[in-house]
Amino acid sequence: PHIRYYDFVLQETNFTRLCSTKSMLTVNGSFPGPTLTVHKGDTIYVNVHNQGTYGVTLHWHGVKQPRNPWSDGPENITQCPIQPGKNFTYEVIFSTEEGTLWWHAHSDWTRATVHGAIVILPSIGTNFPFPTPYAQQTIVIASWFKGSVEDIISYALATGGEPNTSNAFTINGQPGDLYPCSNGTTYHMLVEYGKTYLLRIINAVMNREQFFGIASHTLTVVGQDGAYIKPITTSYIMVAPGQTMDLLVKANQPPSYYYMASSPFSDTIVPFDNTTTTAILQYNSNCTRPPSIPFPDLPGFTDAAAARAFTSRIKSLGGGRNHPVNVPKNINQRLYITVSVNVLPCPDASCAGPNGDRLSASMNNISFATKPMSILEAYYRNLSGVFDKDFPDNPPFYFNFAGNTTSVSDYTAIGTKVKMLNYDDEVEIVFQGTNLSAAENHPMHIHGFSFYLVGTGKGNFNNVTDPKNYNLIDPPLINTVGVPKNGWAAIRFLADNPGVWFIHCHLDRHMSWGMDMVLIVRNGKTMAKRLLHPPAHMPPCS
């Protein structure tokens, strides 16, 4: 394994999109930010210099960081923000991950502009579990807001209403031909006829799951979330925010131009950005642009059946050299956690929520509140008064997935509660989608672990019949799971990573409203199973 060093300079940079210019926070002046390319098992040090105007943290999404939550990044969970004029060096420890992951800011909504790809190649001397592609390309799908994302979320939280929706989606920083003032800069990927390319797709969109496809070309999906899967051939994929997908694409069509496109998947009725971002797959640099370019046939934005048809096909590569499937079978920690969007009473008359309430989100009816302090530091130093250890294993009352009602008795409690686990606990979590207010899929993400998705279904989870249908043979090993609207998803993992780990919905408005919780895994018995000591200069908490 290698050690590498990087400098990330957080700086305000002017960008022009959709006919207007704004200043936004970037890493090293680029959007998306720089790609980190490593080999499996490497360790990297990223020195982040904050030359912006507000505090920021960075997170390495899907990197398990064994024993090292100190460099994991979520604001006020594992560290306090790096203040303007200050720097902090993250130690990013790669272990079993191989494929595509990404990094992003993890404070307020800064990740809208501060994010980039992580490419994890096979360790030196080993190969992909498929023929080596001719070339590789990262495809980062993101959101573009004409306004300042920090203003959008702070205004929404202050008034309790919905934040503004995005004004466009982007592929590699560009909105594409369907948006005003954009077709001169649409991203072009050049290919040679007959060659096979590895596309590394990252959904960095703030608040939407996305479909993606390429006109006339078959996609062969070979990886998800930094692990390989059994190859799937398809004309489209569905990728949730936080997730990554690795695709092989053979350039086997008549040499010309073909659109690749990504459009949102949303089965809710709340207003949202329903626009489509495009890029162009272009054969040979000297091929001329045809008068009309074929467009991929993507599912409609409410097509939940198409989304599900794709995700239900994903299975671990399983049995392969690098990926023994090792699903925990002796579960000793069972959590049944509702994920809900609901409301809280208004503090005053300026409240902009649905019925004079303010919008909120919760897990087991607790809306997570951060403290101006690091939970990791409080745990490590045994400070009291920062968090409570009583996150419930079950919801406080029966949530009817089809109820679609909101009454005062459904109001959530606000709390900073953690779930304590012992080292080597075998954990099952069933996330239950509910319908207290708007029902929506929730891409739930866990820091510090990959987990096996052993089952998913519609309606309320039945703890007698549903486990009989679990896939314990080759379930996908992922870090972000789409919990279906009014349905459930069951995951399993071994708690072998000591420390403090965040769990949250990767739709940022739900995360901001409190659809979050924290796991603390206690130290194991030997030195190799204990939390590392903190680095010398953690950003101070005020």
- List of residues contacting ligand C2O (CB under 6 A): 59, 61, 74, 104, 106, 242, 445, 447, 502, 504, 506
Q: What tokens appear for 189 in the block? A: 């990927």
Judged by beta carbon, residue 104 or residue 200, the one nearer ligand C2O is 104
* Separation CA 502–CA 92 (nearest Å): 17
Other Cβ atoms within 10 Å of 123 Cβ, number: 16
Q: Of 402, 406, 396, 404, which Cα lies nearest the Cα of 365?
A: 396
Other Cβ atoms within 10 Å of 381 Cβ, number: 10
Tokens 């709340």 correspond to 270
3-class secondary structure, 10? strand
Q: CB under 5 to 8 A by kind: which of ligand C2O, Cu ion, none does 106 bind?
A: ligand C2O
Q: How far is the CB of 60 from Cu ion (least distance, A)?
A: 22
365: alpha, beta or left, given left = phi > 0 and alpha = psi -120 to 50? Answer: left
Judged by beta carbon, residue 439 or residue 507, the one nearer Cu ion is 507
* Separation CA 67–CA 47 (nearest Å): 20
Distance between start and end Cα atoms, the chain? 37
Q: CB under 5 to 8 A by kind: which of Cu ion, ligand C2O, none does 447 bind?
A: ligand C2O
> Hey, CA dihedral for 282, 283, 287, 293, is it positive or negative?
negative
* Separation CA 516–CA 503 (nearest Å): 6
Q: How far is the CB of 130 from ligand C2O (least distance, A)?
A: 26
Judged by beta carbon, residue 152 or residue 505, the one nearer Cu ion is 505
Strand 442-446 relative to strand 480-483, pairing: antiparallel
Judged by beta carbon, residue 433 or residue 499, the one nearer Cu ion is 433
Q: What's 56's DSSP letter?
A: B
Judged by beta carbon, residue 225 or residue 466, the one nearer ligand C2O is 225
Judged by beta carbon, residue 49 or residue 447, the one nearer ligand C2O is 447
List, in order, residues 6 or more apart from 218 with CB less than 8 Å away.
233, 234, 235, 249, 250
Q: How far is the CB of 73 from ligand C2O (least distance, A)?
A: 8
Class of residue 152 by CB neighbours under 10 A (exposed 0-12, middle 13-18, buried 19+): buried
> Hey, CA dihedral for 513, 514, 516, 522, is it positive or negative?
positive
List, in order, residues 6 or more apart from 20 with CB less than 8 Å away.
146
Q: CB under 5 to 8 A by kind: which of Cu ion, ligand C2O, none does 445 bind?
A: ligand C2O
Q: How far is the CB of 512 from ligand C2O (least distance, A)?
A: 12
Q: CB under 5 to 8 A by kind: which of ligand C2O, Cu ion, none does 358 bind?
A: none
Q: CB under 5 to 8 A by kind: which of ligand C2O, Cu ion, none does 502 bind?
A: ligand C2O
Q: How far is the CB of 466 from Cu ion (least distance, A)?
A: 22
Q: CB under 5 to 8 A by kind: which of ligand C2O, Cu ion, none does 510 bind?
A: Cu ion
Q: How far is the CB of 510 from Cu ion (least distance, A)?
A: 3
Q: CB under 5 to 8 A by kind: which of ligand C2O, Cu ion, none does 505 bind?
A: Cu ion
Judged by beta carbon, residue 200 or residue 447, the one nearer ligand C2O is 447
Q: What residues form DSSP beta bridges with 14?
A: 23
Query: Which residue intervals of 87-189 are DSSP H helices?
Result: 149-159
Q: CB under 5 to 8 A by kind: which of ligand C2O, Cu ion, none does 442 bind?
A: Cu ion
The H-or-E segment that residue 510 falls in is helix 508-513
Q: CB under 5 to 8 A by kind: which of Cu ion, ligand C2O, none does 59 bind?
A: ligand C2O
Q: How far is the CB of 441 from Cu ion (least distance, A)?
A: 7
Q: How far is the CB of 61 from ligand C2O (least distance, A)?
A: 4
Reported as half-sphere exposure (CB side, CA atoms, 13 A), residue 373 has a value of: 16
List, in order, residues 6 or more apart from 335 with CB less than 8 Å away.
393, 394, 419, 427, 428, 429, 430
Judged by beta carbon, residue 33 or residue 242, the one nearer ligand C2O is 242
Q: How far is the CB of 107 from ligand C2O (least distance, A)?
A: 11
Q: Which residues bind Cu ion (CB under 5 A)?
A: 442, 505, 507, 510
Judged by beta carbon, residue 178 or residue 418, the one nearer ligand C2O is 418
Query: Backbone phi, then psi, for 99, in 5-degree steps?
Result: 130, -130
Judged by beta carbon, residue 353 or residue 539, the one nearer ligand C2O is 539
Q: How far is the CB of 485 from Cu ion (least distance, A)?
A: 10
Q: How far is the CB of 58 from ligand C2O (least distance, A)?
A: 11
Residue 358 to residues 361, 406, 415, Cα–Cα distance (Å): 10, 12, 17
Judged by beta carbon, residue 93 or residue 436, the one nearer Cu ion is 436
Reported as half-sphere exposure (CB side, CA atoms, 13 A), residue 286 has a value of: 0
Q: CB under 5 to 8 A by kind: which of Cu ion, ligand C2O, none does 64 bind?
A: none
Residue 81 to residues 40, 324, 534, Cα–Cα distance (Å): 29, 38, 15
Q: CB under 5 to 8 A by kind: which of Cu ion, ligand C2O, none does 242 bind?
A: ligand C2O
Q: How far is the CB of 244 from ligand C2O (least distance, A)?
A: 10
Residue nearest to ligand C2O (CB): 61
Judged by beta carbon, residue 206 or residue 505, the one nearer Cu ion is 505
User: Radius of gyration (Cα) for the chain, nearest Å?
Assistant: 22
